[in-house]
Structures are given as C-alpha cells and as structure tokens.
Amino acid sequence: MKVLRTPEKYFKDLKNYPYKPHYTTIKTKEGDDLRIHHIDEGPKEGPIILCFHGQPAWSYLYTKMIPFFLKEKVRVICPDLPGYGKSDKPDKRNDYSYQKQVDWMVQWLKENKLEDLTFFGQDWGGLIGLRVVSQEPDRFSRVAVGNTGLPYNPRVPRGVLKQREAFIKSKKTLTFSDIYKNLRGMRGEPATHQVLKFMYWQKYCWDTEDVPVGLIMSMIGGGRKKINNVAYYCFVQMGIEKIYPLKPEIAKAFDAPFPGREYKMGVRSMPMQVPIIPDRSLAAQKKARNFFRSWNKPFMSVFAGNDPITNTMEKDVLKMCPKVLKAPYIGGGHFYQWTKPKELSNILISFIKSEY
C-alpha cells in the first residue's frame, strides 16, 4: 500500500492549533506501516473524551471545544482518521473501505492502551467509532453521537437503486453550487428516498479530483453569508482561488492536510462507502447494531437538530439502545463542533459527569 504523508510545514502557521503531535504506527492486515496522528490534551488522571471527526475534516474541527474540556479538567484525545489531517494518506480508492477504516482505528486504540473512555463521534467519526466501540466495548464507559449513525439498509427499492446507479455513472458534471443547493434541499422533500438525496454528494466527491475542502468547510462551518466566504467561493468557482488575497482562516486550516489533489483520495472515496445501499458492510453493520441493543452503559444522542444531511438518522439512533438519552437541540448545522462549540462541549461535559 502506497501512502502519502503531508509535510509538517503545511501545518506550521495554523491558528489555534498549538498541540503537540502524537504518532502511532500500526501494521495493516497487508503488512504495511500506517502512521496515525492524534492530539492528547488535559490532565492524565482526568476523565477522557475520545473525539472522532468525519469527512472532509480532521482533528482541527475540535479546536474550539478543547478549551471548554480543559477548563473542566477533562482529557481530550482527537485522532486524525487515515486519509486526513496529519495521519498518513493511502493513495488508492480501495484502501478506504469501511471495514479497513474500522480495523485501523481498533488497532490504533489497542496500541495506545486507552480505557475508561467517553466516545463522541460525528459524521464518519460516528460510523467508524460506533463500530470500534462494538469491537472493544470494555474500553468505553459511555457513548455520545450526533449528526451520524449506523446506517443499515438491507432493503432499498430496486427502482431507487437503478436510479442511483445511472446517476453515479452519468457524465453529468456537478459543481459545488449544485451540491450546496442539494444539501439545502435535503431539508424538504420527505418523500424522496435518502439514497437519491445523498447520491449527489457521493458523485461530486468522486468525480472531483481536487475537492475544495477549505471552501466546503468555510461555507458549511464558517458561515455562507459572510462576505469573505462569499468572495472566496466566487474565486474558487472561477478556478482562480490561488490569487485570492484574503483566504478565510477556516479554509486555510482545512486545506492544510491536502497540499495537492493526490492527497485527497480519502475525501473522494469515503462518501461512496456510506452503507445507504445494500453492500458488503451489511453483515458488519447488523452485528454492530445488535451489539448496541444490549448496551447497558450510558448512550446519548446529541444531534444539532438542523442538519439537513443527517437529521433523518436521529430516529434510528434513538432506537439503537434500550436507554438512549436525548440531548436538546443546539443548532449549528452539520459541523456544530465548529459553530456551537460551547453548547456542545457543555452537553458532553455534563454527560461525562453523569448530570444527564
């Protein structure tokens, strides 16, 4: 397996990311070395929260939340999933199967000998993390997830599958503007099957060799109405973003791991791995969901409440465990770690301290 490693110089001038890097080299099942990065902040004797990010973010997504945890003497550990952040980036599409991502993070967890953990995951961080918890349950004391889930769709109408397949294979070129309109539209049209809504993001990411990660994060996580974000969006749409003199800080931070398009295979590949259609992950998903039916430790659903991407998943999450706690909605959209850091941190801190 060939991997790429982002040179440290690309992370040098990031604001609000002073954290010492920690690296763990694991062996893949194929015998290759894979280096995974994480940050580890706070008192060693404090309660630990393990935070998994999603696509296309990295551990930088939690920088606004970390100070709130540290103030309450909570130890924070945030890894970068392989393909993201300071972690190694395999360069082939097949390297990013759902199962491989789970296997790698289970091995990372074991190598670091982490125990008595509170897990929090969002987006792909939840999809991967919940499977990790199900395989290493003794290492976790409680689980919280939001804007994510454990999708399991063994029966999707054949017509929907054919429509999706034709769309994915079509020569239609999607722009970021198309995706943004689609995401906003996901709030409505309840009769439209989720597969047909999500296929736009899947096709866009795979067909776009140089996915504009910084732009995506600046628009979704940084405010689409801010003048600087709008101006940057226009420059990116015209293909002249490199000459834009006022690139938003959030765009700089989330572009940092990807100095070239060849580093973005994880960003491009992983949406296709979301098990919203019957695929090879069905058996593993079913096993994990069956595991959580008998989970007797604290489990909390903490959704934003206004995320068009994952709102429909909350009802399913609330059915996953016998005693699921439901946190109040805090808003903030998909990347609410960035937009509502205080509110989300306070909920998780209360959960850790058993106030929920």
Q: How many CB atoms lie within 10 A of CB 176?
A: 17
What integer pLDDT is reported at residue 224 of this predicted model? 59
Question: Omega into 56 within 30° of 0, i.e. cis?
Answer: yes
Helix ranges, the chain (H): 66-71, 98-111, 124-135, 158-169, 176-185, 194-207, 213-220, 227-237, 249-255, 265-269, 282-293, 314-318, 336-339, 341-352
Of all residues in the chain, what percent are helix, strand and coil, respectively (each to 5)? 45, 15, 40
Known catalytic residue: 95?
Answer: no
- DSSP-derived 3-state class of residue 288: helix
What integer pLDDT is reported at residue 128 of this predicted model? 98
Secondary structure, 3-state, 207-235: HCCCCCHHHHHHHHCCCCCCHHHHHHHHH
Catalytic residue among 80, 88, 123, 255: 123
Contact in structure between 343 and 351 (CB atoms under 8 Å): no
Amino acid found at 83: G
Q: Per-residue DSSP letters for 32-59?
A: -EEEEEEEEES-TTS-EEEEE--TT--G
Q: How far apart are the first and last CA of the chain?
A: 45
Q: How many CB atoms lie within 10 A of CB 75?
A: 18
- Spell out the per-residue pLDDT of the chain, length 356, in tens: 899 999 999 999 898 999 999 999 999 988 999 999 999 999 999 999 999 999 999 999 999 999 999 999 999 999 999 999 999 999 999 999 999 999 999 999 999 999 999 999 999 999 999 999 999 999 999 999 999 999 998 999 999 999 999 999 999 999 888 887 777 666 555 557 889 889 999 999 999 999 999 988 988 776 656 777 778 877 777 777 777 777 888 889 999 999 999 999 999 999 999 998 888 899 999 999 999 999 999 999 999 999 988 888 999 999 999 889 999 999 999 999 999 999 999 999 999 998 66
**pTM given for the model:** 0.94
Known catalytic residue: 307?
Answer: yes
Contact in structure between 293 and 322 (CB atoms under 8 Å): yes
Known catalytic residue: 37?
Answer: no
Closest CA to 104 of 129, 85, 126: 129
What's domain 3-153+279-352's architecture? Answer: 3-Layer(aba) Sandwich (3.40)
| DSSP-derived pairing of the beta strands 89-90 and 3-4 | antiparallel
Q: How many CB atoms lie within 10 A of CB 131?
A: 25
What integer pLDDT is reported at residue 233 of this predicted model? 74
Contact in structure between 249 and 226 (CB atoms under 8 Å): no
What integer pLDDT is reported at residue 191 of this predicted model? 53
Ranges of each domain in the chain = 3-153+279-352, 158-273
